[in-house]
Structure 1
Amino acid sequence: MTHYRTYLIDLDGTIYQGKTQFPSGKRFIDRLKASNSDYMFVTNNSTKNPAEVAANLTENHDIATTADQVYTSAMATADYLVEKQFKQVLVIGEAGLREAIQANGIDIVDKQPADAVVVGLDRQINYEKLTEATLAIQAGATFIATNVDTNLPNERGMLPGAGTIVAAVQTATQTEPIVIGKPSVIIMEQALKRAERTADEVVMVGDNYNTDILAGIHADIDTLLVYSGVSKPDDVHEQSVQPTHEVDTLDDWSIED
């Protein structure tokens, strides 16, 4: 095995499951801290700001976390908008996404003209929001999706994710979006910049082959798949490209290796 300078770590299904604590997730983070290993939580969730994500880990899962240890798809989207010099953006999304964009000095507009349309999870979605997004893209705005997750795990079940809203806009515009979140390489490239690391210095840890692991593979980053959430061994072993490492539980991973 390889010694990694920084661990990029998924949250839901990896460190916890919804409101359910994973003792192995907490022990994994405790071992990273004890070994002075750097780590950053990388999540496709665009609805919450990093302080809220950190508070959830600290208060509900007994994993003391600060905002600077969290990198969301909203933050990666905002960094991408700055990099590409977009100035006016129409947003379908919640507070975490809007705050991340505005914090980078980008104007949010409600209708065209707009340089870009950013679509994330929005639990107050309505027809008028879809209409304005559609018209702006038809007028030439770049279509950007925070992520295309089809479902959002919840105590009620697998609720509609951001991908369902992205699909509606894509259907109306017949336009493929630029996707920021996992499994896209973009969020990984932005996370590496944030962590000030190169691809060969980090490992992506997650429970979902189709998001976490593919994101690492696309970015030439080593991956650690833990079978505590979405993916199952039989399904993963049929894939043409395998994770770098696999464990049944994070307790099985040796930090010192």
Structure 2
Amino acid sequence: MSKSIICDMDGVIYRGKQLIPGANDFVQRLLSTQTPFLFLTNNAEQTALDLKLKLEGLGISGLTEENFITAAMATAMFLKAQKPAATAYVIGGGGIMSELYKVGFSLSETNPDYVVVAKSTSFNFEQLKKAVRLIDGGAKFIGTNPDMIDPVEGGNEPAAGTILAAISAATGKRPYIVGKPNALMMTLATRKLGVHPDNAVMIGDRMDTDIVGGMEAGMTTALVLSGVTTPEIMTHFPYKPDHVFNNVGEIDLAAL
């Protein structure tokens, strides 16, 4: 039986609004062989439904919301395990708020248990001031993911990591970050699939998040060269993936 698959999205399945060659064929092979799989992303803005609809818009059919795990979902899963039915002050969009509601959290600006930070396109000084005061007052500081910038049409834009850095500079405290490269997110993904990490493969395009996170979680790792990593960049790291492919279309599931 083939190993279960945990697969990054941006740079692996698509780049921006373009499907990567071989990606649809890869997904259809996952479905036709009934291989357990999850798409895993540090994106905490979009819900699983948003991502399903995005892939459908790119021509990939047959997926359900259960085929996705986002940094927002992983953060909610982690916090629920730490303190069920807690309260949180959230900086971020609908993705993280929706997932926290689903696990029974209440959103509050008054003595919350946690300050949870994701990417926000409406982040402002008042939110920064409030987060700093709440953390100084004892709220635990949580980040969905550490990404400093996100590639967008026409260049880059600030991401969750830049907001976390501002709050960290003002409080002198570092956040606990759930998303990649934290192996915790990989572990949560294998638990969601109901498989042991030994029987799972992490497929991604980044050595510093996908590959190191999968390696540290005890998974087989597969790097694709369709995203940000080149063969030359790969040699700069003190670890290496178990497999390297030009794109996911080359992957033989039975050989992993």
TM-score (norm 1): 0.95
2:2–2:254: 8 Å Cα contact kept in structure 1? Answer: no
Residue 104 in structure 1 maps to residue 103 in structure 2 = yes
User: AA paired with 1:24?
Assistant: G
Unpaired stretches in structure 1, ≥5 consecutive residues: none
Between 19-28 and 69-78, report the one with greater CA deviation: 19-28
2:21–2:247: 8 Å Cα contact kept in structure 1? Answer: no
CA apart distance, 1:35? 2.2
**1:28 aligned to which of 26, 29, 32:** 26
Which residue is 1:76 aligned to? 74
Which residue is 1:236 aligned to? 234
RMSD: 1.3
**1:53 aligned to which of 44, 51, 54:** 51
Deviation string 1:118-172 (CA, Å, 9 cap, x unpaired) is 1000101011111111111111111110001111121121211111111111111
Residue 136 in structure 1 maps to residue 134 in structure 2 = yes
CA apart distance, 1:4? 4.0
1:4–1:203: 8 Å Cα contact kept in structure 2? Answer: no
Q: How does 1:204-223 map to 2 (within 5 A)?
A: 204-223=202-221
**Consecutive aligned runs of 4 or more in structure 1 exceeding 4 Å deviation:** none
Which residue is 1:62 aligned to? 60
Aligned residues: 254
CA apart distance, 1:252? 2.2
User: AA paired with 2:37?
Assistant: Y
1:57–1:64: 8 Å Cα contact kept in structure 2? Answer: no
CA apart distance, 1:238? 2.4
Which residue is 1:180 aligned to? 178
Partner secondary structure for residue 38 of structure 2: strand
Residue 166 in structure 1 maps to residue 177 in structure 2 = no
2:222–2:241: 8 Å Cα contact kept in structure 1? Answer: yes
Partner secondary structure for residue 121 of structure 1: coil
CA apart distance, 1:94? 0.2
Q: Matched residues in 1 for 2:244 and 2:12: separation?
A: 13
Partner secondary structure for residue 47 of structure 1: coil
CA apart distance, 1:34? 2.5
Unpaired stretches in structure 2, ≥5 consecutive residues: none
Between 74-83 and 211-220, report the one with greater CA deviation: 211-220
Between 31-40 and 15-24, report the one with greater CA deviation: 31-40
User: AA paired with 1:28?
Assistant: F
Deviation string 1:231-253 (CA, Å, 9 cap, x unpaired) is 11112122111111111222222
1:152–1:158: 8 Å Cα contact kept in structure 2? Answer: yes
1:43–1:71: 8 Å Cα contact kept in structure 2? Answer: yes
TM-score (norm 2): 0.95
Partner secondary structure for residue 23 of structure 1: coil
Which residue is 1:152 aligned to? 150
1:7–1:205: 8 Å Cα contact kept in structure 2? Answer: yes
Partner secondary structure for residue 33 of structure 1: helix
Partner secondary structure for residue 146 of structure 2: coil
2:12–2:226: 8 Å Cα contact kept in structure 1? Answer: yes
1:144–1:179: 8 Å Cα contact kept in structure 2? Answer: yes
Q: Matched residues in 2 for 1:172 and 1:24: separation?
A: 46
Q: Matched residues in 1 for 2:11 and 2:62: separation?
A: 18
Tell me the percent identity.
32
1:192–1:199: 8 Å Cα contact kept in structure 2? Answer: yes
CA apart distance, 1:114? 1.2
